[in-house]
Structure 1
Amino acid sequence: MVFTSTTLVWLPIGIVIFYVSYQRLFHPLAKFKGPFLASLTGYWRVYHELKGDLPQTIYHYHQRYGQFVRVAPNEISTISPDFVDVVLKGGPKFIKSSFYDGSGDEKPNIFNVKNEALHKLRHRQMAPAFSVVSLTKMEYIFDRHAFVMIKKLDQIAKSGRPVDLTEIFKFFAHDTNGELSFSKQYHLQEQGKLSLWPPMNVYIIMGNICGYVPGLFDPLQKLGPFVPYLRKFNRSRDSLVEDAMKNATIEFEKRRVHNVEATFEDKSESRINLLTSLVMAQDPESGEMLDLADIAKEAISFVVAGSHSTSASMSFLFAALLRYPEILKKVQDEIKASMSLQDNSVDLDGEFLPSWAGLQSKLPYLSAVLKESFRLYPTVNQPLARVIPPSGVQLEQTVFSSGTIISASAYVVGRNQKIWGANATDFKPDRWLSEDARGKDKYLLHFGQGHRSCIAKNQALITLWKGTVAILQRFKLSPVDREGEQRVVGEIQLNAQGFAEPTEPLLVTISEQSRCMK
């Protein structure tokens, strides 16, 4: 066959026409509506990831097309309530999709591992460290950093200057997480420099991008030295890996080389941290232990998820409280009426914090406000993407065949009127105090659901609750603009690049109120 110049021109055109025609007309998912480019490529999601509006965009298409939207050549996004019970809680037969390969790690961590047997083993090894029992033995760490935050805010209150609460929360969450995870003191709260905040979100953004376009990771790595943004990503990734490896090595050598016995006691060089359980864990069948590289991979996830998502959750919670001053007042009144700072609490230099045990039950309205914040402003909006098993699956009378990827976004499900009613987009904490709310916690997807839900959920909740109550017990918060003038907080917007954060800073002035003690 002779290839002429005309053939060389029309051949690629013909291939493109064939591909587009197949994807739009003959592909098994062609019957599902969605953005035109989504049926052809994952790059449309890359564009919206970088723009920071991907969950909002997917929500828009669900508003337009209904329960199922085609968001990739072989992926359907759903807001079906059935997705939680059938897929996320459907067990190991629903494996994670190729999206979770986006980090490019040869050795996956508990978040992105797709092998169900390996995940089951790793979960068994890590779960004891993240249990409520274990974390409450380390409660003094949460308290210590909450006290540092209180003292910092005391100083700011006395100065009268405005402060951005998003920065305060970042420093608090990272300092707390650093000591819990590695017995390491970062001292970000004392230094107060945002430049010291690790570049975690760059890591998440690039992982998302490479997850949306399988196979993209290696080419981007090769282009890294020549593209400024990619150079920044590589430097960020390298710094996180280096810090994780350093901390993992310290714990590894302490426990496995020098055989230091672990203890929960404070002020001890042998004190347990979250890495300890991984270093000491053994396969119950083979007795095999994790090597240093495996431990370091988990350490990276400790840093990225433990610090950034928790601080962002606090930022959204306080953004909602500042936007709705009547809700803020009700929360602070509940704290004052429901609990004594000196009753079942810890004390440091005359400051008191309530113990974690029973805290949520003592403050049901604050619990409702927090759930409502998780529902409308989830920090984690990555698709909870699962592969349909060989048996297929049915959702909302629609059958999906084997190999199809089906996913859901916490942001979109949190606004589904079929679950939450006609006022699904309204911030209404009282919805959680009615009988209608019974069983609806499962539709909050910020921590995931089912056997692959976030293992660090308890750590995040204790950090968030401790920090929130510590502030609301003590301070009156008044939102201000950049010039320090009083303002009314407008609608809360999400910047959804990587982990979502409020688009606007939480600038406030602080004054000390009468202590909420009986």
Structure 2
Amino acid sequence: MAPQFTISSNALGRKHRISMAVHEKHLKLGDFVRLSPDQLSVAHPDGIRDILGHGNGFLKSEFYYAFDNIEQGVFTTRNRLMHSRKRKYVSHAFSPKAMMENLLQKGQAGQYVDLGQRVTAIGKLQRREDAAIDAAQWLAFLAFDIIGDLAFGEPFGFCKAGSDTNDGIKKLRDRGEWCCTVGQMPWIKTWTPYFYFDTFFVHGLHAAQALARIGIAAVENRKHAKIDPGRKDILFYLLKARDPDTGGPLPDAELKAEALTQLIAGSDTTGNTLTHVVDMLCRHPDKLRKLQEELDAAFPSPLPTDFVAPFSECQDLQFTQGILYETLRLRTTVSVGLPRVVAKGGAMVCGQFFKEGTVLSVPTYTVHRDERIWGPDALEFRPERWVGDARFPLEKYFLGFSYGPRACIGRNVAFMELKKTAATLFRRFNFRLVNPEVDPSIREGFHLKCQTLPVFISKRDS
């Protein structure tokens, strides 16, 4: 086994760079890095199969206890039977135009005012046909509104208002940073309300509690709203779901916990990914041109004034899909290793024996940069690697939605949303970075988040 190093994951959580720090240690020490006395990070490609794969008996670790809110959900439960039960009913559950047009025509959308009007330095760089926006902020508005519509019957209204009207986006960020830090030492969770000496813990706990209240309110509003009876959103399926054990409806707390999971999993993740897509394409104009050539061929002019790419017409666009896969490889939304516990009797992992109870994780950030898998251009943004049959041998190493029996249950919904939104935005608009010479401001809580991304947008010929 390679040399090991005990790394303070809790401290790194506070510094918002767990994935990068663990990656640096793997580059120096090899495939095995000790994170704590009983926890190791395993970067060997076979670790994906050995740790996350089917049939090995490994369970999620106590790391996930930090993410419990209301009660355990399909994401956080560590009990295999409970996860199977929840998956049975949750699995059945599964417009950018207006905001962009208003910004281009009026320089304002809701409360949001064009950056060029607010920041003199940006205004000096702005062309007449441009609008200047923070793409990270607007794509978060869009993702929250979409999941509000998909899950709860109506958008949250962030795009219309041009603002984070209930601080839900900020609360989700703060909650993620708190969870990822507390998850390194789960036993401190019950004590965090009393950590007045460190406001990070108290503030994060309050954010988690406030986010739960937003989810509960959305469920209650949906239950009492006059919704088209033919509408089948995610909450429709949760409300109609039968408890696999009793045959009755889901207990109220369980229903709300699962609804909150859908809100969290379907909003920040998608908004972050779309922001990274915009950033990567602006930094690789040759890839952007190739994408727009594919979209122009798929959706020729003239476009309808209310054009939104139909999923049936963009789901099989090869280069569009390659852009999403490659962005999720290099800017994986959840880049930290997701820990699993070695089952009773111990197990062989990547040629090494680990005793039962050892916590092992696969560092997504590192595996997605491994030249043994991706070749000598592993650090390059090359969507072509996912086009055609070339993608098949790579998919078993792709951890954009985790892997194995606990992989993301909403993968199909996420890809539908990403493909439709990316195809619509890049067919209708041009994007360029306000400050292309400046590296993106990326901060890691539980999600790898681009904090701000000032861009100029302009309308393409339709």
Tell me which interval the TM-score lies in, with the shorter structure as reference length: 0.7 to 0.9
Tell me the equivalent position of 2:334.
Answer: 380
Q: Paired residue for 1:82, among 46, 51, 58?
A: 46
Matches within 5 A, 1:15-26: none
Tell me the equivalent position of 1:242.
Answer: 213
Letter in 2 for 1:445: L
Change (3 A) 1:160 1:252: closer
* Distance in 2, Cα, partners of 1:195 & 1:183: 18
Tell me the equivalent position of 1:33.
Answer: 3
Q: How many residues align?
A: 440
2:242 is equivalent to residue 292 of structure 1:
no
* Distance in 2, Cα, partners of 1:490 & 1:423: 23
Q: Paired residue for 1:147, among 97, 120, 124?
A: 97
2:416 is equivalent to residue 462 of structure 1:
yes
State the 1:305 CA deviation: 1.9
Per-residue CA deviation, residues 4-39 of structure 1 (Å, 9 max, x unaligned), is: xxxxxxxxxxxxxxxxxxxxxxxxxxx663334x3x
State the 1:87 CA deviation: 2.5
Tell me the equivalent position of 2:457.
Answer: 510
Question: Taking structure 2 as the reference length, what is the TM-score of the superposition?
Answer: 0.88
* Distance in 1, Cα, partners of 2:71 & 2:45: 34
* Distance in 2, Cα, partners of 1:468 & 1:56: 27
Q: Is the 8 A contact 1:87 1:386 kept in 2?
A: yes
Tell me the equivalent position of 1:217.
Answer: 189
Gaps of 5+ in 2: 108-126
What is the DSSP-based 3-state SS (H/G/I as helix, E as strand, rest coil) of the residue aligned with 1:354? coil
Q: Is the 8 A contact 2:152 2:218 kept in 1?
A: yes
What is the DSSP-based 3-state SS (H/G/I as helix, E as strand, rest coil) of the residue aligned with 2:308? strand
* Distance in 2, Cα, partners of 1:338 & 1:105: 43
2:368 is equivalent to residue 404 of structure 1:
no
Matches within 5 A, 1:120-159: 120-130=84-94, 145-155=95-105, 156=107
Q: Is the 8 A contact 1:103 1:210 kept in 2?
A: no
* Distance in 1, Cα, partners of 2:97 & 2:414: 17
2:114 is equivalent to residue 168 of structure 1:
no
Q: Is the 8 A contact 1:32 1:70 kept in 2?
A: no
What is the DSSP-based 3-state SS (H/G/I as helix, E as strand, rest coil) of the residue aligned with 1:162? strand
Q: Paired residue for 2:447, among 469, 492, 499?
A: 499
* Distance in 2, Cα, partners of 1:200 & 1:410: 22
Q: Is the 8 A contact 1:383 1:407 kept in 2?
A: yes
Tell me the equivalent position of 2:117.
Answer: none
Per-residue CA deviation, residues 344-369 of structure 1 (Å, 9 max, x unaligned), is: xxx6xx322232125232x2112112
State the 1:414 CA deviation: 0.5
Q: Is the 8 A contact 2:314 2:423 kept in 1?
A: no
Change (3 A) 1:273 1:453: same
What is the DSSP-based 3-state SS (H/G/I as helix, E as strand, rest coil) of the residue aligned with 1:110? coil
What is the DSSP-based 3-state SS (H/G/I as helix, E as strand, rest coil) of the residue aligned with 2:288? helix
Letter in 2 for 1:429: P
Q: Is the 8 A contact 2:134 2:453 kept in 1?
A: yes
Bigger mean CA deviation after superposition, 289-298 or 388-397: 388-397
Q: Is the 8 A contact 2:291 2:320 kept in 1?
A: yes
Bigger mean CA deviation after superposition, 92-101 or 189-198: 189-198
Q: Paired residue for 2:160, among 180, 185, 190?
A: 190
Q: Paired residue for 1:91, among 46, 51, 55?
A: 55
Per-residue CA deviation, residues 297-355 of structure 1 (Å, 9 max, x unaligned), is: 11222222211111000011111000111111111111112344789xxx6xx322232
State the 1:250 CA deviation: 4.1
Tell me the equivalent position of 1:359.
Answer: 314
What is the DSSP-based 3-state SS (H/G/I as helix, E as strand, rest coil) of the residue aligned with 1:69? strand
Letter in 2 for 1:412: T
State the 1:422 CA deviation: 1.9
Q: Is the 8 A contact 2:2 2:30 kept in 1?
A: no
Q: Paired residue for 1:334, among 279, 287, 294?
A: 294
Change (3 A) 1:253 1:94: farther
Letter in 2 for 1:50: R
What is the DSSP-based 3-state SS (H/G/I as helix, E as strand, rest coil) of the residue aligned with 2:263? helix
Tell me the equivalent position of 1:59.
Answer: 23
Q: Paired residue for 1:100, among 44, 49, 64?
A: 64
State the 1:295 CA deviation: 1.1
Change (3 A) 1:34 1:232: same
Letter in 2 for 1:170: A
* Distance in 2, Cα, partners of 1:451 & 1:210: 25
Change (3 A) 1:368 1:489: farther
* Distance in 1, Cα, partners of 2:224 & 2:190: 33
Q: Is the 8 A contact 2:314 2:420 kept in 1?
A: no
Bigger mean CA deviation after superposition, 416-425 or 97-106: 97-106
* Distance in 1, Cα, partners of 2:167 & 2:286: 33
Cα RMSD after superposing both structures = 2.5
Q: Is the 8 A contact 1:365 1:429 kept in 2?
A: yes
Matches within 5 A, 1:273-288: 273-284=233-244, 286-288=246-248
Bigger mean CA deviation after superposition, 402-411 or 388-397: 388-397
Change (3 A) 1:250 1:351: closer
Letter in 2 for 1:193: S
Change (3 A) 1:451 1:480: same
2:428 is equivalent to residue 474 of structure 1:
yes
Q: Is the 8 A contact 1:316 1:502 kept in 2?
A: yes
Change (3 A) 1:472 1:496: same
Q: Is the 8 A contact 1:379 1:446 kept in 2?
A: yes
* Distance in 2, Cα, partners of 1:186 & 1:32: 50
Bigger mean CA deviation after superposition, 157-166 or 419-428: 157-166
* Distance in 2, Cα, partners of 1:442 & 1:152: 43
What is the DSSP-based 3-state SS (H/G/I as helix, E as strand, rest coil) of the residue aligned with 2:183? helix
Change (3 A) 1:490 1:421: farther
Tell me the equivalent position of 1:70.
Answer: 34
* Distance in 2, Cα, partners of 1:34 & 1:490: 35
Q: Report % sequence identity.
A: 24
Matches within 5 A, 1:417-428: 417-428=371-382
* Distance in 2, Cα, partners of 1:317 & 1:359: 16
Tell me the equivalent position of 2:12.
Answer: 48
* Distance in 1, Cα, partners of 2:210 & 2:244: 34
State the 1:62 CA deviation: 0.7
* Distance in 1, Cα, partners of 2:27 & 2:345: 30
